[in-house]
Structure 1
């Protein structure tokens, strides 16, 4: 856990006679699989806080059915009209969300954002990954796996957000510190490629066949690792991974990407704190409401690094939908330059 919150006695969190604390938890979309773990974590936080503090904490799932800015705006409006005590929000469209977040603040309903932000709004804080730190770490790990020599390919997407640009540029800047390492190829796997090529795995295969000199892969978009037929669609790439001729580091850590790591089809996964998007942010909200705790504009969530020695722990945590216990450190971090 990245938080060390002090619940103390019931006096800190209230008494059973007090009104419940209500938190509206709003993701980008109820049908987005990245929020499944977060949603359960938010509900778990409500139960844990109720038990520990003696005051009921109700986490209300107020999510749009799909990723549509107008649908999310309507859900934020719904939360405001419900007069909840606070809002936890993954912002889909900052221009649409900002006026509503500001209105909520004016009505005494604070908003904490997670995953993605509305930086120009009156939100209290943004809980998220430091993209530069995570991308630099990806570069350091890949450089070590490549023994600091060889050519690298990057798989990216059509995403042009600032965070995604940071994910690429910070990686390249770190790799540029090593004379014997170079990024020779970048390939996009976006919606068009997914539709026309039946997935990012096929893109991996095509690039591997066309560029046999590539030794390392940075899967800034890690969708290929979440595709169940990766080995079949990318046999050349998979054979290279299994033999050690190819090494790779990818985003993100999910229940669908972990089998690729377990089966030797990637070496390291770097993951955002999906569990923390629910659990930590609800805890932060409780602490803010009951103790007056203040937060900086950006609250660094940290990130998970999963490799061979801790992949079984990560799989077990996903099955349990519970990451309250931190993972054992990835052994590749030992002595990392």
Structure 2
């Protein structure tokens, strides 16, 4: 059962977000997420600082959620990145999770970042915005009671992809002034971790044969890449595709510098079809790296078989969910 009743959908929105032109399938998700976040804003167990600037651009803002009950120790920090296909979205699409995250206790931070909005290629600005937000967390989290040396990155859908782009690239973190050792865990929910054509091809397809590669590339150009245009461009730019594919870049990383835990969640048959196979490929690649190193991430995979693509995210608001149990265990270990 959700902490917030579905009756809150009738409340007037206190989130005051700037309207976006959303595809029809995102409208119900948007309404529910904003209403649940409205209720979290009003909840007497939470305090929230909204629209805090982490950079000079008007869209570079974040919300900081904290438990009202004071604590003497620095709280671990969860940075939650919203989804929306890299085109749309608000920090409020992740804000409702503050009720369960802050109850651990922990600090919960939800950043905004550059979006395509159906008009432009937002990559790599979107990634760089989130790097700047992480740098802000490291520099300012103590002001809100957080411990900048204990950060968990999580995201749903496109947010999971962006979390993976940051958390699985230690040199990138260092370039932004963020120590890779500060990222204790990644929680990736129903998102892609590779944007190459082969990352969306079923494993049983004849990728190695001459007929397989042209077919997979043709299907990618026609059916997949239009949904990735805010990241890879249209037509796809090879450099952007590679830079935005953590699966392709893992072999370059030092396993000892990766987060201690990578937790991957996906839904059942109603989740997007790439979620499960890409989760398995990420697990296999991380385990392969671990076999050749003295230190490597622990990998956990959670299949929420009854959930669709959005249901895996609603689990963030369910105090009894397996997802929350895993996150709370990681927070206590960090």
Question: Which bracket does the TM-score occupy, shorter chain normalised?
Answer: 0.3 to 0.5
> Normalized against structure 1, the TM-score is what?
0.34
